[in-house]
A and B are shown apart, each in its own frame.
Chain A
């Protein structure tokens, strides 16, 4: 069997479109975060570059591209160079099976894998390797502490996160992302009491998973300078930034798909619905970040193990009972 040149070209174009979307989305989110935070604090935020500072992120990207790439002399070269890629590549790979809905009858999903949600879980679980490499490879106390905290946090919060996902999978009866969306055609999962709890757990654990306030102790700037990416500059720093904001998009897209009905909705085209839900959740996460203070390390770990994990287990058991009834 031959894969025609046409198919190969289409594959390349799809890849380029996805990468372009990721870059533009991250730039938009950085600008949006600055605007949201500014308005919460009754400021204006960026105003000078473009309409209400809309081109500020473009200017920042150009600046970061032109900056010198400094490699401190004491670093462990291999980990130092690999870390930014490990922070970005898994997040980009997740986009293979995120269902964006359809437009003119074309399904906007790169590949509807039959293990969809498991594939996403596997990839999000390896992002922590990049943080480890950056933290250890930088040869810096603050980076090391940030890396350690981050690893402990991500590993702990992954359990409730995955258990909340499993609850949705049980109700949908499939691991495929499209089938999960189709299972919510009648009623979004979030409107069932049991799933509402799972949704709350998912949002809390997801916020912790992407290291955002109130769970941003890995990069707590008042304690650790900037955590694991203290020593990075220029484009490598930008890669971490890209990874962080794309991760936020991915977690919100997953929450929208698993609990809020994905791309389904009345009147508007599916793509628009998907983007509204996803960016709505992203905005919610930003709102939380600029409203709540940071929690302490011990509080953070205690909350994960003593509250979130037992609650999500109990929730899972109740979900099983409802399904078996």
Chain B
């Protein structure tokens, strides 16, 4: 009986899931899902489904951020991109599209030109990724950036870009109101 309990506790404490394996599995499945949903955005024929697919892609990317120790970025990604931008897309689609509507074609005559442009951008990214000297990330949490440091950086070193972005957003807001008023 004692032997049985001993074996059982041995199994419970010493066997299990390898953490690295679990992290890798989650990371790669998220990456693959992000690609699949990303393809869905540009190939699905129902515009509402495209928007849902976009939301799922952004979710998967937020998940990848989580595995890269960037929790703040992940939360902000979901809050802004899924919670605000995709919501806005869906709102616009609901105002204009109905289920009975003819499904849209995602391709037109410019497919070859756009393919060339995309290939050019892809090769640019790939060359940058290959060319940059990647530092081997430390295994512990030394890379984890606290929210406090991030806030301080935004308010001191990066104050100018921060203010510039808020100015652009304000301009967009005022512009939207002016365009909206013009119709009346």
- A residues whose Cβ falls under 8 Å from a Cβ of B: 1-9, 74-76, 78-79, 82, 113-115, 118-119, 121-123, 125-126, 128-129, 132-133, 135-137, 139, 144, 147-148, 151-152, 155, 158, 175
Contact of B16 among A7, A79, A151 (CB under 8 A): A7
* Inter-chain contact total with CB atoms closer than 8 Å: 113
Sample (14) of A-B pairs whose CB atoms are under 8 Å apart: A2-B19, A3-B19, A6-B12, A75-B99, A76-B99, A122-B75, A122-B78, A129-B55, A129-B82, A129-B87, A132-B87, A133-B52, A136-B48, A139-B100
- Chain B: which residue is nearest A125 at the CB level? B83
Question: In angstroms, how far is the closest chain A Cβ from the Cβ of B71?
Answer: 5
Question: In angstroms, how far is the closest chain A Cβ from the Cβ of B176?
Answer: 14
- B residues whose Cβ falls under 8 Å from a Cβ of A: 11-20, 22, 46, 48-49, 52, 55, 71-72, 75-76, 78-79, 82-84, 86-87, 90-91, 93-95, 99-100, 146-147
Which residues from chain A contact B86 at a C-beta distance below 8 Å?
Answer: 129
B interface: dominant SS: helix
Which residues from chain B contact A132 at a C-beta distance below 8 Å?
Answer: 87, 90-91, 94
Which residues from chain A contact B78 at a C-beta distance below 8 Å?
Answer: 122-123, 125-126
Question: In angstroms, how far is the closest chain B Cβ from the Cβ of A138?
Answer: 9
Which residues from chain B contact A5 at a C-beta distance below 8 Å?
Answer: 11-13, 15-16
A128–B79 CA distance with the chains assembled, in angstroms: 12
B48 touches A115 (CB 8 A): no
Question: In angstroms, how far is the closest chain A Cβ from the Cβ of B43?
Answer: 14
B91 touches A151 (CB 8 A): yes
A78–B17 CA distance with the chains assembled, in angstroms: 34
Given contacts A126-B83, A155-B87, contact A1 B20 (CB under 8 A): yes
Which residues from chain A contact B17 at a C-beta distance below 8 Å?
Answer: 2-3, 8
Which residues from chain A contact B46 at a C-beta distance below 8 Å?
Answer: 76
Which residues from chain A contact B147 at a C-beta distance below 8 Å?
Answer: 114-115, 175
B87 touches A118 (CB 8 A): no
Question: In angstroms, how far is the closest chain A Cβ from the Cβ of B5?
Answer: 14
Question: In angstroms, how far is the closest chain B Cβ from the Cβ of A247?
Answer: 15
B75 touches A118 (CB 8 A): yes
Contact of A4 among B12, B75, B87, B100 (CB under 8 A): B12
- Known: A8-B16, A114-B147, A126-B82; 5 extra A-B contacts, CB below 8 A, are A2-B17, A6-B12, A121-B79, A129-B55, A132-B91
- Chain A: which residue is nearest B9 at the CB level? A6
B16 touches A4 (CB 8 A): yes
Contact of B22 among A3, A9, A152 (CB under 8 A): A3
A114–B18 CA distance with the chains assembled, in angstroms: 25
Which residues from chain A contact B75 at a C-beta distance below 8 Å?
Answer: 115, 118-119, 121-122
- Chain B: which residue is nearest A145 at the CB level? B94
Contact of A148 among B19, B22, B84, B95 (CB under 8 A): B95
Which residues from chain B contact A125 at a C-beta distance below 8 Å?
Answer: 78-79, 82-84, 87
Contact of B94 among A9, A78, A122, A148 (CB under 8 A): A148
Which residues from chain A contact B13 at a C-beta distance below 8 Å?
Answer: 4-6
Question: In angstroms, how far is the closest chain A Cβ from the Cβ of B138?
Answer: 15
- Chain A: which residue is nearest B14 at the CB level? A4
A79–B52 CA distance with the chains assembled, in angstroms: 8
Which residues from chain B contact A113 at a C-beta distance below 8 Å?
Answer: 71
- Chain B: which residue is nearest A121 at the CB level? B79
Given contacts A125-B79, A151-B91, contact A4 B15 (CB under 8 A): yes
Which residues from chain B contact A136 at a C-beta distance below 8 Å?
Answer: 48, 90, 93-94, 99
A175–B18 CA distance with the chains assembled, in angstroms: 31
Pairs of residues from A and B, 4 with the lowest C-beta to C-beta distance, nearest first: A125-B83, A122-B78, A122-B79, A6-B12
B82 touches A78 (CB 8 A): no
A318–B17 CA distance with the chains assembled, in angstroms: 51
Question: In angstroms, how far is the closest chain B Cβ from the Cβ of A140?
Answer: 10
Question: In angstroms, how far is the closest chain A Cβ from the Cβ of B64?
Answer: 15
Which residues from chain A contact B12 at a C-beta distance below 8 Å?
Answer: 4-6, 9
Question: In angstroms, how far is the closest chain A Cβ from the Cβ of B61?
Answer: 13
